[in-house]
Amino acid sequence: MPLESKPNNNFEIKPGGAWARFWASIIDGMIFGIPAVVIVSIWYLITGIRISKGSIETNPVYTIIVLASYIIYYVYFTSKKGTTIGKDAYGLKVVKYHTDEKISYWRGIVRELTKVGILIIPIFGGLFYFVNSLVIIFSKQKRGLHDLAANSQVVRVKSTWPMKKQIAFFGGYILLFIAIYILWSSIGQTINQFLPTPVTKISTEQKSWKLFENKTDGWSIRYDDKLFKAPLLNRSDNDRKLTFNRAHGLDEFCLDSFNVEKRDNPSGLPLEQWLGVNDPTYNYQGKVQESVSINGIIGKRVTADNNAVYESSVPRKYRIVTIYLPFNNKVFILSYSDIYYWRFPKEECLNNEAAIKAFFETFSPVE
């Protein structure tokens, strides 16, 4: 007989078992995880920023999205329906303690925040969560700390879903996950390179860059009235370098990065002599070299092909292009690398490569 929504202090309580609650949480995690993945994917498409592997658990954007999806899902279903989809699969319902009433939204929020709070306690969070699980397993009423905080209880009100229904659910979920993955891969390969990133703006708007302006806030690179701070290098107090990478809109599967660097040449050495004294042989000796003129400044372009091992031990060929431009007792170094092992269509990667070249041709160094 289904539970009524009115108080009934005489009804028979049958606490929900820990094993059923565990499997219910697995199903619920699968369900609220889908919108979390979709939102993260949309975030990546909009911003062009990819969450780093290995640091995903600590990334604030990822954490906020997952926690928000988790709390909204559990609070809504628990307070509105009295049960989540996972709990319903195993015949469970969340009620006010010693009644058959659904808990309020406020109690639902307290319940879920307590669960999250236990887990994220620094150092001891995992231990407290384990202890809380033991309380649910071995206590007579099967009430964890989050149930005590919200004055709630998980009870058994009906039978578990039939096995065929469970198999259909898990099979459908797997197919849905595969479909989302295929769709996301297709979107990433077709439109990602055409998003309005700083890189594509360089080639389409053809605006000038002024390198390393000496402003009160420190040395910066100015582009389109925006300042990008260039941190110090370790070599001296005056050398500066700024690297543009995927955080600025580059896709690492087309262009690895491009860099702008200012190095001092106080003695006014000729470029060849300065290179021999100041720059590693890796970049300019034994490579393809040619003279280059950019905005009236005569310099040198060096092209080097290198083999590298990328993630998952996949070999990829890199072309590294470096331009050295002497200017007023300084040497500006402009460099970028692209990848021969194309993941995206080659023409899209070449568009981004052209954008970098346009950047090199429009810069103007300032004192």
Residue 4 lies in a domain: no
Say what the pLDDT of residue 209 is.
46
| Residue 278 forms part of a structural domain | yes
Contacts of 77 (CB under 8 A, 6+ apart): 83, 84, 85
**Predicted confidence (pLDDT) at residue 245 exceeds the cutoff of 70:** no
State whether 184 and 206 are in the same domain.
no
Classify the phi-psi angles of 206: left when phi > 0, otherwise alpha if psi is within -120 to 50, otherwise beta. Answer: left
Percent of the chain at pLDDT > 70 equals 56
Domain co-membership, 141 together with 237: no
Count structural domains, the chain: 2
Q: Is the pLDDT of residue 11 over 60?
A: no
Given a cut of 70, whether residue 160 has pLDDT beyond it is yes
In a domain, 5, yes or no: no
Please report the pLDDT score of residue 207 as a whole number: 43
Give alpha helix (H) positions in 120-210: 125-138, 145-150, 163-190, 198-205
DSSP state of 159: P
The parent domain of residue 280 ranges over: 192-365
Between 295 and 251, the more confident residue is 295
Q: Is the pLDDT assigned to residue 359 strictly greater than 60?
A: yes
Q: Indicate whether 319 and 212 sit together in one domain.
A: yes
Q: Which of 190, 225, 253 represents a domain boundary (last residue)? A: 190
pLDDT tens digits, one per residue of 185-241: 665 544 443 333 434 333 333 444 454 454 444 445 555 555 555 544 444 456 666
Give the mean model confidence (pLDDT) for residues 149-170.
89
> Is 70 exceeded by the pLDDT of residue 259?
yes
d(CA 361, CA 343): 27
- Same domain flag for 176 and 206: no
Q: When comparing pLDDT for 245 and 240, which is higher? A: 240
Residue 208 pLDDT: 46
Higher pLDDT, 135 or 225: 135
How large is the average pLDDT for residues 330-346?
67
Tell me the average pLDDT of the chain.
Answer: 71
Which helix (H) or strand (E) is 42 found in, with range? helix 18-47
pLDDT at 195: 35
What one-letter code names the amino acid at 15? P
Query: In 3-state terms, what secondary structure has residue 285?
Result: coil
How far apart are alpha carbons 28 and 169 in whole angstroms? 12
Distance in angstroms (rounded) separating the CA atoms of residues 100 and 84: 16
> Could you tell me if 315 and 180 lie in one domain?
no
Q: What is the DSSP letter of 247?
A: G
Domain limit, last residue, from 136, 162, 190 = 190
Copy the structure tokens of residue 162. Answer: 């039939």
For the ranges 59-73, 237-251, 264-278, the lowest mean pLDDT is seen at 237-251
CA atoms of 357 and 203, how far apart (whole Å) = 8
181 plus 237 within the same structural domain:
no
Q: Taking the C-alpha atoms of 193, 194, 200 and 203 in order, what is their torsion angle to the nearest 10 degrees? A: 110
45-100 pLDDT, tens digit each = 555 444 444 444 455 667 777 788 888 899 999 999 899 999 999 999 999 998 88
Domain holding 260: CATH number? 3.40.1000
- Give the pLDDT score at 349: 62
Residues sharing a CB contact under 8 Å with residue 34, sequence separation 6 or more, in sequence order? 176, 177, 180
User: Do 170 and 255 have their domain in common?
Assistant: no
Tell which of 171, 190, 209 closes a domain: 190
The answer to whether the beta carbons of residues 213 and 220 sit under 8 Å apart is: yes
337 lies in a domain?
yes
Cβ 179 vs Cβ 228: under 8 Å: no
51 and 179 housed in the same domain: yes
Regarding whether 323 and 237 lie in a shared domain, the answer is yes
List helix spans (H) across 191-323. Answer: 198-205, 271-278, 281-284
Range with top average pLDDT, 31-35, 141-145, 228-232, 255-259? 141-145
pLDDT band at 260 (very low <50, low <70, confident <90, very high): confident
Confidence (pLDDT) at 255: 60
Query: Does position 134 have pLDDT exceeding 70, yes or no?
Result: yes
Residues 6+ apart with CB under 8 A from 269: 277
Residues 168 and 104 in one domain: yes
Q: Give the pLDDT of residue 313.
A: 44
Give 283-297 pLDDT, tens digit per residue: 555 578 888 887 778
Tell whether 210 and 93 lie within a shared domain: no
